[in-house]
Amino acid sequence: MIASILGLVMASHWQQTLVAGLGSAIPEDFDPFADPKNDINNPLRYITTNSLTGVSFALILLVALSQTYCMVRWGAKWMLSLVIGEYFFVLGLALRFGLHVHPDGLTLYIVQDMFVVLSPCAFIAADYVLLGRIASYLGLDNYLLIPARKITRAFVISDVSTFLIQSQQAAGGGISASAKSKNLNQTGSRIFLVGLILQLVSFAVFTMIYGVFLYRVRTRSPEIWKRDLRKPWYNDWRTLAKVLCLSCLGILIRSFYRVVELSQGYAGPLATNEAFFYGLDTLPLFFAIFLYTPFWPGRFISNELPAGQHEHVELKANNPTDSI
């Protein structure tokens, strides 16, 4: 939450600095709906579709409300960043209704862009925390390339760092997208692109660490891997592990899309096509977070290790040969 406040303050300062130098005002008789693709005052270069906005808004809001209930019902308050991020994402989508009416509304675009672009940082942070919780619950911290007590801290710090870079440029991005100055446009997009690349690399490394962890559990501790074999599949800890895999995949797709989009510039073919926004950004993120609703982590992870697992953990922790 502190990072969010700092990010918004920095973004606000960046917005005020750039707005001061943008130049001419929009003529009173100008029609923003006549040719949005060539309208330099329209950051999106298209008119948002209310039907698509409404569907995505309703779906994400439903996920946020259902997971709020899950947190109250089954606990796992350490997933709070996920739920908070969902509500901010909903707010960003809701502002797209305003852009349908006022497509040249620069301030409106900047605010919605900040919420839509930065909210996934909270989803990423939740996945970081979840891996540490799974490893600790299984008692197999030593199978992580980075100890569980450090992995959450290390990657959350990375997430906050990229968040601050992106938040400063999320506002600047709106200015750059409609800027008359080519240098201003390029500066904003390049700095923002750096933040997105760092986020993609960081999350890709995290996903690799998670993959190694699952491989080690399956090959070195088959009794832990299969310990829920007699339970229904929806109560098997491996189901939660698969959900985290799918969540990582959805976030990676979205992150890769954002990097390619920004590499083309704010007026590139990806950035100016609404179908790509929903198909490669909103939809992958929806699946990345929705799956936690039927498989809420609090239903799988308790505060105590299963009986008899302490001895196994101690034996593994003292085994110096655990390497990939």
Do residues 129 and 170 lie in contact, with contact meaning Cβ atoms separated by under 8 Å?
no
Question: Taking Cα atoms as reference points, which of 317, 321, 255 lies closest to residue 288?
Answer: 255
* Token pair of 174 as six digits: 């709106």
Task: Give the range among 33-47, 236-250, 305-319 with minimum mean pLDDT.
Answer: 305-319
Radius of gyration of the chain (CA): 22
Cα 58 from Cα 79, distance rounded (Å): 21
Q: Which class for 120: exposed (0-12), middle (13-18), buried (19 or more C-beta within 10 A)?
A: buried
Q: Does residue 81 carry a pLDDT above 90?
A: yes
Do residues 310 and 139 lie in contact, with contact meaning Cβ atoms separated by under 8 Å?
yes
- Give the model's confidence band at 148: pLDDT under 50 very low, under 70 low, under 90 confident, else very high: confident
Angle at 101 between CA 105 and CA 107, to 5 degrees: 15
Q: What is the mean pLDDT of the chain?
A: 82
* Token pair of 114 as six digits: 């900040």
Cα 1 from Cα 58, distance rounded (Å): 25
6 or 56: which carries more pLDDT confidence? 56
SS3 call for 58 = helix
- Give the model's confidence band at 5: pLDDT under 50 very low, under 70 low, under 90 confident, else very high: very low
Which DSSP letter does residue 280 get?
I
User: What mean pLDDT comes out for the span 255-260?
Assistant: 94
Cα 230 from Cα 236, distance rounded (Å): 9
62-73 pLDDT tens trace: 999 999 999 999
At which residue do the structure tokens 């911290």 appear? Answer: 141
88-123 pLDDT tens trace: 999 999 999 999 999 999 889 989 998 998 899 999
H or E element in which residue 2 lies? helix 2-19
Cα 22 from Cα 5, distance rounded (Å): 26
As a 3-state breakdown, the chain gives helix, strand, coil percent values, each rounded to 5, of: 75, 0, 25
Which DSSP letter does residue 48 get?
P
Question: Taking Cα atoms as reference points, which of 311, 280, 68, 40 lies closest to residue 175?
Answer: 40
Percent of the chain with pLDDT over 90: 58
Do residues 42 and 103 lie in contact, with contact meaning Cβ atoms separated by under 8 Å?
yes
Do residues 44 and 272 lie in contact, with contact meaning Cβ atoms separated by under 8 Å?
yes
What pLDDT score does 185 carry? 58
Provide the whole-model pTM: 0.82
What pLDDT score does 228 carry? 92
Distances (CA, A) of 315 to 48, 136, 248, 261: 58, 15, 31, 49
